[in-house]
Amino acid sequence: MHTPLLGQRSEVFNQADPHAVSLYVNQHVGSHCIELPRASRPQAHLSHRAFAELDLCRITYGAPVRVVSPALELCFHLQVLLHGHCLWRHARQEHALAPGELLMINPDDPVDLTYSADCEKFIVKVPVRLLASLCSQQRWGVPEGGVRFVQHRYRLDDVHGLVSLLGMVCQEAEEAEAQPLVQSHYTQIVASKLLCLLKTNVRREGAQASPLNFERVLAYIDRHLQQELDTDTLARVAQVSPRTLYGLFERNAHTSPIDYIRQRRLARVHACLNDPGCTVRSVSELAMDYGFMHLGRFSEQYRKQFGELPSQTLRQRRKNP
C-alpha cells in the first residue's frame, strides 16, 4: 500500500512496552485487553491523531498478541491491515486477514483478534452518533437497533477511493495548524463513504430514487392543486416511502412537499389574477378554491412570494385589460 497513513509527526510510542500502548489505546481508541508471550520485549509502536469526531491510529505490538473485547459499545472500528497477518475469530469461525484487507467491526461485535509479530494496522474509530446523525440528515431508513455493517471483510481494491480518502485525512490531521471546519467536512465525507461503499442495514431509498419519481409527483401536484393533497398520497405516486419523499423534495426543490404545494397553489392564484381570460369573482373565493381557508395568512404568504397583495395584482389587471 503506497498511501501514507500517519507518520512520525503523529508518533506517541516508539519501541515501547506493549501494555503501555494498550493502556493508551483503551483511553483513546477502544476498550480491550491484550495477551502477550511472557518473554515479549518492548517493541510496540503507536501513532495517533484525534481528527474532529474520528480517532486515527497506526499500531504494531512487535510481538504475537491476542486482542479481545466483549464489545466496542459506542464506536465502530475500521481496521486496515498494512503488514503481517491477523486471525479474526467471529461467530465460532476463524478468518485469516492479509495485508490489503479491511475489517469493519460493529459496536456490539465481540472482538477476538490475534496479531502476528510483524502485524501493523491502521484503525479508524468512528462514533456511533456520527453515522446515526448522517443517516438522519439524509433521511435514510435505519432499523431500531441502529446502523450495522452486515459484511465485515473487504479487499481494499473493492472499495474504490476509500484508502486515498483516508490518506488525505491523515495528511490533514498532521498539518501544523488544525482547521476544525476542514476536519469536520472530511469527517462527514468519511462517514458518507463508509455508508455508501460498505454493505449495511441502512435503507438508502432516497439516493436510489429516479428523477422520474420526482417528475411524476410534480405533475400529479399540478393536476390536483384544487384538491386535498397529503404526503402519503404523494409518496404512493412517487413510488417511494414518505421519508424518501421528503429527501426527494429537499434535494430537488430545496423545500418540503407541503411548502412546495403551497408555493404552486399561490403561483396558480397569481397566474389567474393576472390572466384576463380567467374569471375572478373575488380574491377570497379564488383563494378558497385552492385550499387557503385563512385569508389573512393567504394574503401575507402571497405578498411574501410576489411582493404585492393579491388585491393589488387584480387591480393592476383591471387597469390594463
| DSSP secondary structure letters along 150-166 | S--EEEGGGSTTHHHHH
Per the rule left: phi > 0, alpha: psi between -120 and 50, beta: everything else, 52 is: left
- pLDDT greater than 60 at residue 209: no
Number of Cβ atoms within 10 Å of the Cβ of 153 = 12
pLDDT in tens, 62-112: 999 999 999 999 999 999 999 999 999 998 899 999 999 999 999 999 999
Cα separation, 150 vs 91, whole angstroms: 13
Cα separation, 194 vs 152, whole angstroms: 12
pLDDT in tens, 154-168: 999 888 789 999 999
pLDDT in tens, 17-51: 999 999 999 999 999 999 998 877 889 999 999 99
Cell of 149: 455493517
Cα separation, 321 vs 8, whole angstroms: 79
Share of the chain above pLDDT 70, in %: 95
Per DSSP, the three-state class of 168 is helix
DSSP line for 10-25 = GEEEEEE-HHHHHHHH
Q: Mean per-residue pLDDT for 313-321?
A: 73
Q: Are 102 and 158 in contact (CB under 8 A)?
A: no
Cα separation, 45 vs 245, whole angstroms: 50
Beta-strand runs (E) in 146-217:
153-155
Share of the chain above pLDDT 90, in %: 68
Could you give phi then psi for residue 187, rounded to 5 degrees?
A: -60, -45
Per the rule left: phi > 0, alpha: psi between -120 and 50, beta: everything else, 43 is: alpha
Output the pTM of the full model. Answer: 0.66
- pLDDT score for 3: 62
- pLDDT greater than 80 at residue 152: yes
Cell of 108: 456490539
- pLDDT score for 208: 53
- pLDDT greater than 80 at residue 274: yes
pLDDT confidence band for 117 (50 / 70 / 90): very high
pLDDT confidence band for 210 (50 / 70 / 90): low
Could you give all domains of the chain from N- to C-terminal order, each with its CATH number?
Answer: 8-197 (2.60.120.10), 208-319 (1.10.10.60)
- Say which amino acid occupies 166: L
- pLDDT score for 320: 63
Q: Are 63 and 131 in contact (CB under 8 A)?
A: no
Mean of all residue pLDDT scores within the chain = 90
Half-sphere exposure of 140 (CA within 13 A, CB side): 20
